[in-house]
Chains A and B, each alone.
Chain A
Amino acid sequence: MTPANTTKVKPQGRGIRQTMSDLHTWAGLLVGWLLYAMFLTGTVSYFKDEISQWMRPEVPHHQALPDPAAVAQNVSNQLTALAAGSPQWSIYLPTERNPVVNVFWRNAPADVKANKGGNRRGFEEATFDPATGQTLNARETLGGEFFYRFHFQFHPLPVLWGRWLAGFCAMFMLVAIISGVITHKKIFIDFFTFRWGKGQRSWLDAHNALSVFGLPFHLMITYTGLVTLMAMYMPWGGQGAIKTPVERAQMSAQLSAFPPPLKATGDKAPLASIDAMVRQAQARWGTNDVGRVSVTNPGDAAARVAVTRGEATRVSMSPQYLLFNGTTGELLDVKDNVGAAAETRGVMYALHLGRFSDLHLRWLYFLVSLGGTAMVGTGLVMWTVKRRSKLPDPVRPHFGFHVVERLNIAAIAGLSVAMTAFLWGNRLIPSDAAGRSATEVDLFYWVWAATLLYALVRPAKRAWIELLWIATAVLALLPVLNAVTTSRGLWHSVAAGDWVYVGVDLMMWALAGLHAWLAIRTTRHTPKTKPARTAKAAQGAQAPHAPVNATLNEDRA
């Protein structure tokens, strides 16, 4: 923008950068606390399988992966009894990263009516040991799945409410990113600018560097996050145009790897060999590239079996599966391509989940997401830092400032404590306690609520420092707790070459170091609160040496 331009815009009051700056500030602040939690739990979800392994210490390390075909056969034999009368079940086969079998099934219609068991949607789940084909003999826990389900549906909120809330927040995030970029004229130069120890400037520079460095990623992850649930958020095209059952089937074949179930005939017929069906899929995709076996109407003459491809070998979640007649074992259909738009959606979905990535790429995903978490966190903190210097009476700030300041403490420092408490709960709650999986989740929320209470009753700065030190302590002591309560302490894991356990222990110490560093920096920090001087200086001091619109560029928050 040239000076001549500026003078033309000025008389109308506020330029586009000022309005976009306000939009960025308020869109970011309103849902910032939830966004921070979504970002952090999403970040750790890139290692959800490893976290799940850590949270089931009874499952021994390094079983050689058993043959998927035999596993699928064994587990489906079990399900015939366990899920009797169920119209559909799905077996998620073990992988290198997740060496257990997860099974979901729909309750029998009679049971749903009687409201017997299962969750609200009439689903049940169980975990099997692939070595024995029996129900897994390990502590009952959601494992890393909890962080994952919190990330996009705020588990245990009702699924629909949680997902709408997450979509609402993600849409705010998208608007905050776009308005943030428009605000930021010197996006390239500012990336190389860092002013250490300069109060608000440093927060601004940190926020800018984190945002710009990860910008393509943040934009991608936000947009693809919306895409994962787009059929729920934007169902109108489908509702307006897809009317006949044939069209509906065509549509769902583009998006879903679950074939539509046939109507049950009522004639009993045993399932054909699942083993043989999985072997056909292995021949097509590779021995360990079979993801899931889904059966509709098991035990009925109209049974269908779908064997889907794994997620690790391609960058797309578009449906690819073999469809078999469940009673004869005959291959009925091979689904291996979808239309261009559906494939685009599949790629975007896969980019969000990152399940195709090998260990190195997974770490990159983790680190850049952590940068995104820090971007949201620094943005939240900057809101208070920027306004504190302008408060009429910094000792007694107005109500809104007070609320934001305290929520920041609980949302950022408190969340670290609560997430670690969830892991502590996993080791401390007796492994045979009834409903222990839900108790772990309850513990997370109770501890989080306690940190909010703590943030409300302590002076703000003390609350920051103390909660950060508490987080440091619980993180640093977790490997110790692990060593005391299980036989898989750090030295054992190193000796056994169990890198998942070694990795979790070391990660806890790295995160403890990060929190200690934040605590020390917060202790040394002296907030600038000289309202009279700052207000004048903001107008006077910058004008002589700065170009016309420098104030516009630099006072962004």
Chain B
Amino acid sequence: MAQVRRAALVDISALVSRIIAAIGGGYVIAALASVAVLALPMDKSQAVITGMLASFAIYAGAVVWVFAVRSAWRAWAGLLVVAAPLALAAWAVSSGLVTGGAA
């Protein structure tokens, strides 16, 4: 009985973890991508708009990923793998290391 209850608890916490990964993690990925796009060699204001335009597709893709993979751990791992380079690029952009193309 106790084992069944613990299994149910694990299931629920895994589900909650995925929901957080999808809503919160997905948004963070989309936001990072919308900043990282500024590292591309293109006009700054066009890059900002491109980032905004694409962000919702990236968000939706992240949500699908989070629920498609086998476990909540994999979901988070996948998000982190994508987030790391995006965060690096976004950091480079916002600290002025990369200025993209023409301003």
A: residues with CB less than 8 A from B are: 12-13, 16, 19-20, 22-23, 171, 174-175, 178-179, 182, 223, 226-227, 230-231, 233-234, 236-238, 240-242, 247, 250-251, 254-255, 339-342, 344-345, 348
B54 → chain A closest CB, angstroms: 9
- Please tell me if the beta carbons of B53 and A237 are within 8 angstroms of each other in the complex: no
- Please tell me if the beta carbons of B35 and A342 are within 8 angstroms of each other in the complex: no
B22 → chain A closest CB, angstroms: 8
Which of B1-9, B62-70, B76-84 is near enough to bind chain A? B62-70
User: Can you name 22 A-B residue pairings with CB atoms under 8 Å?
Assistant: A13-B70, A20-B64, A20-B68, A23-B63, A171-B59, A174-B59, A175-B60, A230-B55, A230-B56, A234-B30, A234-B31, A234-B51, A237-B35, A241-B35, A250-B44, A251-B44, A254-B46, A341-B46, A341-B49, A341-B53, A342-B49, A345-B52
- Please tell me if the beta carbons of A174 and B30 are within 8 angstroms of each other in the complex: no
CA distance A255 to B60 in the complex (A): 24
Chain B interface residue number, banded? 20 to 34
Give every chain B residue within 8 A of A234 (Cβ-Cβ). Answer: 30-31, 34, 51-52, 55-56
- Please tell me if the beta carbons of A23 and B49 are within 8 angstroms of each other in the complex: no
- Of A12, A171, A251, the most chain B CB neighbours within 10 A belong to A171
Chain A residue nearest in CB terms to B66:
A23
At the interface, yes or no: B13 with Cβ under 8 Å from chain A? no
- Given A234-B51, A236-B34, A339–B43 Cβ distance below 8 Å? yes
- Please tell me if the beta carbons of B34 and A237 are within 8 angstroms of each other in the complex: yes
Give every chain A residue within 8 A of B32 (Cβ-Cβ). Answer: 236
CA distance A555 to B58 in the complex (A): 29
Give every chain B residue within 8 A of A255 (Cβ-Cβ). Answer: 49
- Please tell me if the beta carbons of B60 and A178 are within 8 angstroms of each other in the complex: yes
Give every chain A residue within 8 A of B63 (Cβ-Cβ). Answer: 23, 175
- Please tell me if the beta carbons of A240 and B94 are within 8 angstroms of each other in the complex: yes
CA distance A20 to B66 in the complex (A): 11
Give every chain A residue within 8 A of B60 (Cβ-Cβ). Answer: 171, 174-175, 178
- Of B34, B47, B52, B70, the most chain A CB neighbours within 10 A belong to B52
- Please tell me if the beta carbons of B68 and A342 are within 8 angstroms of each other in the complex: no
Chain B residue nearest in CB terms to A346:
B49
- Please tell me if the beta carbons of A237 and B37 are within 8 angstroms of each other in the complex: yes
- Please tell me if the beta carbons of A230 and B53 are within 8 angstroms of each other in the complex: yes
CA distance A419 to B94 in the complex (A): 48
B72 → chain A closest CB, angstroms: 12
CA distance A171 to B63 in the complex (A): 10
- Please tell me if the beta carbons of A339 and B34 are within 8 angstroms of each other in the complex: no
A124 → chain B closest CB, angstroms: 31
- Please tell me if the beta carbons of B31 and A236 are within 8 angstroms of each other in the complex: yes
CA distance A364 to B62 in the complex (A): 33
- Given A234-B30, A237-B48, A339-B49, A174–B43 Cβ distance below 8 Å? no
- Please tell me if the beta carbons of A342 and B55 are within 8 angstroms of each other in the complex: no
Give every chain A residue within 8 A of B37 (Cβ-Cβ). Answer: 237
Give every chain B residue within 8 A of A231 (Cβ-Cβ). Answer: 52
Additional pairs, 19, CB under 8 Å, beyond known A242-B45, A242-B48: A19-B67, A223-B57, A230-B55, A233-B55, A234-B30, A234-B34, A234-B52, A236-B32, A237-B34, A237-B35, A237-B47, A240-B94, A241-B100, A250-B45, A251-B48, A255-B49, A339-B46, A341-B50, A342-B45
- Please tell me if the beta carbons of A175 and B45 are within 8 angstroms of each other in the complex: no
- Please tell me if the beta carbons of A241 and B55 are within 8 angstroms of each other in the complex: no
CA distance A240 to B64 in the complex (A): 27
- Given A234-B30, A241-B94, A223–B56 Cβ distance below 8 Å? yes
CA distance A344 to B53 in the complex (A): 9
- Please tell me if the beta carbons of B59 and A16 are within 8 angstroms of each other in the complex: no
- Please tell me if the beta carbons of A12 and B70 are within 8 angstroms of each other in the complex: yes
At the interface, yes or no: B38 with Cβ under 8 Å from chain A? yes
CA distance A264 to B43 in the complex (A): 32
Contact of B53 among A23, A227, A236, A247 (CB under 8 A): A227
Give every chain B residue within 8 A of A247 (Cβ-Cβ). Answer: 44-45, 103
At the interface, yes or no: B21 with Cβ under 8 Å from chain A? no
- Given A174-B60, A175-B64, A230-B53, A240–B45 Cβ distance below 8 Å? no
Give every chain B residue within 8 A of A182 (Cβ-Cβ). Answer: 64
CA distance A230 to B52 in the complex (A): 6
- Given A12-B70, A223-B56, A236-B31, A179–B49 Cβ distance below 8 Å? no
Give every chain A residue within 8 A of B52 (Cβ-Cβ). Answer: 227, 230-231, 234, 237, 345
Chain B residue nearest in CB terms to A168:
B23
CA distance A226 to B52 in the complex (A): 10
Give every chain A residue within 8 A of B94 (Cβ-Cβ). Answer: 240-241
B98 → chain A closest CB, angstroms: 10
CA distance A233 to B59 in the complex (A): 12
Give every chain B residue within 8 A of A16 (Cβ-Cβ). Answer: 68
Chain A residue nearest in CB terms to B37:
A237
CA distance A13 to B47 in the complex (A): 42
Chain B residue nearest in CB terms to A182:
B64
Give every chain A residue within 8 A of B53 (Cβ-Cβ). Answer: 227, 230, 341, 344-345, 348
B20 → chain A closest CB, angstroms: 15
B15 → chain A closest CB, angstroms: 10
Q: Mark B14-34, 1 if CB is under 8 A from A, else 0.
A: 000000000000000011101
CA distance A342 to B51 in the complex (A): 11
- Please tell me if the beta carbons of B34 and A342 are within 8 angstroms of each other in the complex: no
Chain B residue nearest in CB terms to A13:
B70
Chain B residue nearest in CB terms to A16:
B68
Closest 9 CB pairs of A and B: A341-B49, A240-B94, A237-B51, A341-B46, A339-B46, A237-B48, A230-B52, A237-B34, A341-B50
- Please tell me if the beta carbons of B30 and A254 are within 8 angstroms of each other in the complex: no
Contact of A241 among B67, B68, B93 (CB under 8 A): B93
